C-alpha cells in the first residue's frame, strides 16, 4: 500500500511558471496542499527610498521603473499626483490620450496575465496565441509613445506627443484585430473541457477572505466586489466604462473577467479615438509644495501614490501601495489554501496576476 506523507515543498524562487522570482513554500499532506507561504525579497528595488531627496522631474522616470509590465500606469499616477498638488489642469484631448494609452496598457497586461495562466495549465497553444496578440497592443503603444515600455509619455499638464490622424487610424485598425482574434481565443478558453477541469472550482476565494484582505482589481471583481478606481472618473463613464463583475470567485472567473475587460478596453479606445477633438496636448503650470494621496486603476487594481513635495521641488516623502501586495497575500493565505493538488498551486497563484516587481517596489 502506498504511504501518504507530509512534505514541505518549495516552489521557486526560479520556476518556469513564474515571470519573476518568488518562492512559495507549500505544506502538503500527500497531494493535498494544506498551507502556503510566499517569500519575496529577491528583486527588492527600494525605489521609494531612491526617490526621496530627488527633484520631482526625476521621480517620474523612477516611478516607471517600479514595474516593466504596467509602467504606463505608474507614470500616470505620479504625474496626476503632482498635478493635484500644484493645481495643474489637463486639456480634454490630453486626458483622452492618457486614457487610450492606459487602456492599451491594460490590454497588454491582461493578455500577458492570461497567457501566463494558460502556459501554467499547459495550454501552450492558447498561451502563444495570446502572447502573439499582445504584440498588437504593444505595437500600438510604440506607435503612440515611441517605445514599448517606460515611455514617460504622460507629463505634468498633459502628454509628451500628440497622436497623428494616421497613427490614430492604425490604432483603430488594431482594435478590430484585437477584437476579432480575442473572440476566437475566449471561445477556446470558455469551452475547453481540459481548461475547465483545471480552472473551474479551483482556487476559490471566499467572500470573508476577500473582504478581510483588501483584495483589489480583477481578483476582487471576480469575487463580486465592485472595486475599480475608474468609477470615480466621469470621462471613463463618458467613454463607455462600466463595472464588470463575476461571482464564481475561482481561477476560471478571474481569467474570464480579464477577457471581458479586454473587450471593454477595446471599446473605450474606440470611443476615445472618436471623441478626440483638435486641441492643446499640454498646459503649463508651476510645481508647488504639498502632499497628496492619489489612486488610479492599474491593470491589477488600485495603485496609490502618497507623495509630498517641498518648496524646492524635491520629494520629501513617498509611499507606493501597489495592487499586487493584497492580491499576492490573499493568494497565499486563502486561494492556495487546501488545494486538492500541488499542480494547482502555480496556476492559482498566476490567476491572481501577481506582479513581483510591483510588490518589491
The footprint of another protein (CB under 8 A) covers 10, 13, 23, 37-41, 44, 48, 211-214, 306, 317, 319, 321, 325-326, 328-329, 332-333, 359
Beta strand 6-11 with 23-29 is antiparallel
Least distance from C-beta 24 to another protein, angstroms?
10
Nearer to another protein, 247 or 319 (CB): 319
Least distance from C-beta 211 to another protein, angstroms?
6
Beta strand 154-155 with 32-39 is unpaired
Torsion of CA 325, 334, 222, 24, to 10 degrees: 60
Asked if 110 and 258 count as a contact pair (C-beta separation under 8 A), the reply is: yes
Nearer to another protein, 38 or 63 (CB): 38
Nearer to another protein, 99 or 358 (CB): 358
For residue 328, give the C-alpha cell.
Answer: 499576492
Nearer to another protein, 140 or 223 (CB): 223
Question: Whose CA is closest to 223, among 209, 212, 200, 207?
Answer: 207
Least distance from C-beta 48 to another protein, angstroms?
8
Question: What backbone torsions phi and psi does residue 66 show, to the nearest 5 degrees?
Answer: -65, -45
Least distance from C-beta 112 to another protein, angstroms?
22
Nearer to another protein, 147 or 319 (CB): 319
Least distance from C-beta 303 to another protein, angstroms?
13
Least distance from C-beta 116 to another protein, angstroms?
19
Question: What DSSP letter does each residue of 101-154 carry, written as one string?
Answer: HHHHHHHHHHHHHHHHHHHHTT-HHHHHHHHHHHHHHHHHHHHHHSSSS----E
Least distance from C-beta 87 to another protein, angstroms?
25
Question: Whose CA is closest to 81, among 67, 98, 60, 100?
Answer: 60
Distance from C-alpha of 330 to C-alpha of 337, rounded to nearest angstrom: 10
For residue 118, give the C-alpha cell.
Answer: 494558460
Alpha carbon of residue 271 to chain centroid: 22
Least distance from C-beta 306 to another protein, angstroms?
7
Distance from C-alpha of 79 to C-alpha of 201, rounded to nearest angstrom: 41
Nearer to another protein, 93 or 227 (CB): 227
SS3 71: helix
Find all residues with CB under 8 Å of 256, minimum gap 6, and list them: 186, 189, 190, 222, 246
Nearer to another protein, 214 or 224 (CB): 214
Nearer to another protein, 176 or 317 (CB): 317
Instruction: State the DSSP code for 332.
Output: I
Amino acid at each position: 500500500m502506498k504511504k501518504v506523507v507530509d512534505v514541505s515543498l518549495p516552489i521557486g524562487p526560479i520556476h518556469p511558471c513564474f515571470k519573476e522570482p518568488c518562492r512559495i513554500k507549500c505544506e502538503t499532506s500527500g497531494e493535498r496542499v494544506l498551507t502556503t507561504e510566499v517569500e519575496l525579497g529577491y528583486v527588492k528595488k527600494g525605489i521609494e527610498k531612491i526617490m526621496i531627496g530627488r527633484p520631482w522631474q526625476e521621480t517620474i522616470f523612477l516611478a516607471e521603473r517600479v514595474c516593466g509590465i504596467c509602467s504606463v500606469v505608474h507614470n500616470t499616477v505620479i504625474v496626476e499626483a503632482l498635478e493635484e498638488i500644484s493645481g495643474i489642469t489637463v486639456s480634454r484631448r490630453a486626458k483622452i490620450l492618457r486614457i487610450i494609452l492606459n487602456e492599451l496598457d491594460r490590454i497588454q497586461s491582461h493578455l500577458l496575465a492570461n497567457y501566463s495562466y494558460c502556459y501554467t495549465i499547459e495550454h501552450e497553444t492558447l498561451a502563444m496565441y495570446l502572447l502573439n496578440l499582445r504584440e498588437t497592443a504593444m505595437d500600438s503603444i510604440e506607435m503612440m509613445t515611441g517605445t514599448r515600455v517606460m515611455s514617460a509619455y504622460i507629463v505634468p499638464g498633459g502628454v509628451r506627443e500628440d497622436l497623428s490622424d494616421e497613427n490614430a487610424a492604425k490604432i483603430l485598425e488594431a482594435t478590430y484585430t484585437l477584437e476579432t482574434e480575442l473572440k476566437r481565443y475566449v471561445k477556446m478558453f470558455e469551452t475547453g473541457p481540459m481548461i475547465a477541469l483545471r480552472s473551474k472550482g479551483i482556487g476559490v476565494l471566499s467572500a470573508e477572505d476577500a473582504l478581510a484582505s483588501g483584495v483589489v482589481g480583477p481578483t476582487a471583481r471576480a469575487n463580486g466586489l465592485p472595486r475599480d478606481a475608474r468609477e470615480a472618473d466621469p470621462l471613463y463613464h463618458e467613454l463607455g466604462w462600466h463595472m464588470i463583475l463575476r461571482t464564481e470567485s475561482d481561477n476560471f472567473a478571474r481569467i474570464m473577467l480579464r477577457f471581458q475587460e479586454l473587450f471593454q478596453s477595446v471599446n473605450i479606445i474606440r470611443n476615445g479615438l472618436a471623441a478626440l477633438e483638435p486641441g492643446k496636448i499640454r498646459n503649463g503650470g508651476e510645481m508647488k509644495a504639498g502632499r497628496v494621496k492619489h489612486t488610479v486603476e492599474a491593470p491589477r487594481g488600485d495603485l496609490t501614490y502618497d507623495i509630498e513635495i517641498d518648496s524646492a521641488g524635491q520629494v520629501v516623502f513617498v509611499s507606493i501601495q501597489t495592487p499586487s501586495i493584497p492580491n499576492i497575500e490573499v493568494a497565499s493565505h486563502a486561494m492556495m489554501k487546501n488545494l486538492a493538488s500541488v499542480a494547482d498551486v502555480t496556476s492559482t497563484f498566476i490567476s491572481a496576476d501577481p506582479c513581483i516587481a510591483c510588490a518589491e517596489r
